[in-house]
């Protein structure tokens, strides 16, 4: 498993709620997901784009580390996702995600749609750098 950090130390309350909502979608808890995401201002009719993003993330498992809804931790992948969503949500409607090494390119259109939805719903995420870390390579035993 990849390194995880304590979520409360690195995420605002809004980001924690968003992350828990995304995780609840992944763990097929739609009522909990809707409650969490509407609490931060995302209208129920707009949840479908977040559901599509989570489905795409789960299809990439274990490459993308989406933790359980009750986890007090955040994975580096989730932190990268929050950074990308924050950046897109601050851009104009034609803003695009810069190239990422850590977030699979296939996810970029969904991340952009979710980021625009966050902006339209006036959900504000912390500004954080996009790390553009390359995936760590594991050396095979010689």
Q: What is the pLDDT of residues 14-24, one digit of tens each?
A: 999 999 999 99
Please identify which residue in the block is written with the tokens 């909990």: 32
Q: Which residues of 56-90 are buried (b: 16+ CB within 10 A; e: fewer)?
A: bbeeeeeebbbbebeeeebbbbbbbbbbbbbbbbe
Please give the residue that has the higher pLDDT: either 121 or 5.
Answer: 121
Q: Is 69 helix (H, G, I), strand (E, B) or coil?
A: coil
**What's the pTM value of the predicted model, to 2 decimals?**
0.81
Q: Is 34 helix (H, G, I), strand (E, B) or coil?
A: helix
Closest CA to 118 of 32, 28, 50: 50
Please give the residue that has the higher pLDDT: either 135 or 98.
Answer: 98
Give Cα 140 distance to the centre of its chain: 31
Label the pairing between strands 5-6 and 73-74.
antiparallel
pLDDT band at 137 (very low <50, low <70, confident <90, very high): very low
């Amino acid at each position: 498993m990849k390194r995880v950090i304590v979520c409360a130390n690195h995420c605002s309350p809004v980001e924690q709620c968003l992350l828990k909502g995304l995780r609840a979608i992944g763990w097929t808890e739609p009522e909990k997901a809707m409650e969490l995401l509407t609490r931060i201002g995302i209208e129920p009719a707009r949840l479908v784009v977040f559901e599509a993003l989570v489905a795409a993330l789960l299809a990439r498992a274990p490459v993308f580390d989406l933790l359980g809804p009750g986890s007090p931790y955040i994975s580096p992948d989730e932190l990268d996702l929050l950074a990308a969503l924050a950046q897109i949500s601050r851009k104009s409607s034609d803003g695009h995600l810069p190239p990422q090494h850590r977030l699979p390119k296939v996810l970029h259109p969904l991340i952009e749609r979710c980021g625009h939805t966050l902006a339209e719903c006036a959900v504000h995420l912390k500004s954080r750098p996009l790390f553009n870390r390359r995936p760590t390579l594991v050396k095979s035993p010689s």
